[in-house]
Amino acid sequence: MREPVELRRQRILSVVESRGAVKVSVLAAELDVSVVTVRRDVEELARAGRLRRGHGVARPAGEAQPPAAVPALRGDGSAGDGGAIALVVPDRHSYLYETLHGARTVLEESGMRIALHIAHQSADTERPLVERALADGARGLLIAPRWRNARSEELDYGWLADVGVPTVLMERRPRPGSALHVLDSVCSDHWYGTYLAVEHLVSLGHRRIVLAARDDSPTARTIRAAFAEIAAARAEVEDWSVVLSSPEAVPGPGPESPAAGAVTAAGADAPPVAAAGARTPLDLAALLRERGATAAVLHGDVDALMLVQRLAESGVEVPRDCSVVAYDDVVAALGSTPLTAVAPPKAEIGRAAAELLLHRLSGAVGSGGPVHRTELLPTLKVRGSAREWVPTTK
């Protein structure tokens, strides 16, 4: 289903408001649409006074002028081309872009030069980017590997543990005992974020809950596992299930890829549910009816907004007929029904990771101390897409 124009423009506004000036070409790449389409959107938004348009750039409406460039610094503090901090993040990943910009703020304030590398969706993309950055003299590395499945994660363990410069993983938690266990990492506590979502729905009286989630990142896999654990442990939850939120939300071809809409976990007493075809969009309305579910947790935001739209097309209104909590809170507030959402501290993750890396590079007493495992807690943003459920009596 093609993304609605207004939703796309709301996403553009969200990116511009959170980052400042953004190139039209960058917006087009992130939204996976043509530059012509984004340029037209920016013109319309500028005409409505919602942002400012420059030569190939979109800026916040209230921005007086572009920010001044930060001088590049060498290791000795003088201006030059060397001594950059390499930042490596996946393309088309607005969640991690917010993390990136949190790191950018800290690094620019410290006067460090930033070398940004965007990893494409093909396999084994990060390694050559990191090797190129090291060849160019990068002093440190901040990285959020894509890790679409467990195998791709394992393939990165050897080389990433041996890059030879201080490295901090952002929003990635190495497996215990793996080669990457010796790396610093800063991550959201997604178990706790999932707990917040389930606890909120249970507190409103919901007893039958569906999780429609992605399965193409470590965050997605953590959310799926946490939901199954938390829902199974709550005596109040009578029925729960985990399904794939989108046909594109899979880790890649092979046995690890569940079919779209397939139930991959369910309450012990739940009846079996037939799997949909691998490219078939999830019929959430039908699933809710089959399970008798009154609430859903939806990951991530764009999938959540699209699923809520499909619910409305099927005659299911949120929150009247189904309560919804989204997970990510990148654009959850921008839908026609603003969604209550779990909000991981995305920018704070980037800031904490950058501060830790700068500490490692400082040479100060204690800068070579023990490995850091930093976890920051998400929060719940209540916006009204979930309401108290009162069972009907017959």
- Residue 231 pLDDT: 97
3-state secondary structure of 117: strand
Q: How many other CB atoms are there within 10 angstroms of residue 190's CB atom? A: 25
The token pair that represents 352 in the structure block: 């904490």
Question: Tokens 């553009």 sit at which residue?
Answer: 12
Confidence of residue 17 (pLDDT cuts 50, 70, 90): confident
Q: What is the pLDDT of residues 60-110, one digit of tens each?
A: 887 544 433 333 333 333 333 348 999 999 887 777 888 988 999 899 888
- Overall average pLDDT of the 112-140 stretch: 88
Q: Report the share of the chain in percent with pLDDT over 90.
A: 48
- Alpha helices (H) along the chain: 5-19, 24-31, 35-47, 94-109, 126-135, 150-160, 190-203, 218-233, 284-291, 301-313, 346-362
Task: Write down the mean pLDDT value for the chain.
Answer: 84
Lowest mean pLDDT among 159-163, 272-276, 321-325, 379-383: 272-276
Q: What is the pLDDT of residues 312-367, one digit of tens each?
A: 999 999 999 999 999 999 999 998 899 999 999 999 999 999 999 999 998 777 77
The full DSSP string for 325-377 is EEES-SSGGGSSSPPEEEE--HHHHHHHHHHHHHHHHH--TTTT-SPPEEEE-
**pLDDT higher at 262 or 23:** 23
- Report the C-alpha gap between 356 and 338 in whole angstroms: 35
For residue 228, give the nearest of 250, 214, 243 by alpha carbon. Answer: 243
The token pair that represents 233 in the structure block: 């442990």
- Overall average pLDDT of the 53-66 stretch: 70
- Report the C-alpha gap between 26 and 42 in whole angstroms: 13
**pLDDT higher at 249 or 318:** 318
**143 Cβ neighbours under 8 A, 6+ residues apart:** 86, 87, 88, 89, 126, 130, 160, 167, 168, 169, 170, 172
Most confident of 3-17, 115-129, 200-214: 200-214
- Residue 202 pLDDT: 97
- Residue 393 pLDDT: 55
- Overall average pLDDT of the 196-210 stretch: 97
Q: What are phi and psi of 50, to 5 degrees?
A: -90, -15
- Residue 155 pLDDT: 85
Confidence of residue 291 (pLDDT cuts 50, 70, 90): very high
- Overall average pLDDT of the 150-160 stretch: 87
Confidence of residue 34 (pLDDT cuts 50, 70, 90): confident
- Residue 140 pLDDT: 95
Asked if pLDDT for residue 268 goes beyond 70, the answer is: no
Q: Give, as one character, the DSSP assignment of residue 166.
A: -
The token pair that represents 288 in the structure block: 């809710």
- Report the C-alpha gap between 61 and 143 in whole angstroms: 31
- Residue 257 pLDDT: 43
The token pair that represents 150 in the structure block: 């467990």
- Residue 67 pLDDT: 39
C-beta separation of 188 from 378 below 8 A: yes
- Report the C-alpha gap between 88 and 359 in whole angstroms: 19
Confidence of residue 256 (pLDDT cuts 50, 70, 90): very low
Confidence of residue 2 (pLDDT cuts 50, 70, 90): low
Lowest mean pLDDT among 150-154, 234-238, 330-334, 382-386: 150-154
- Residue 281 pLDDT: 83
Lowest mean pLDDT among 29-33, 265-269, 280-284: 265-269
Asked if pLDDT for residue 278 goes beyond 60, the answer is: no
- Residue 75 pLDDT: 37
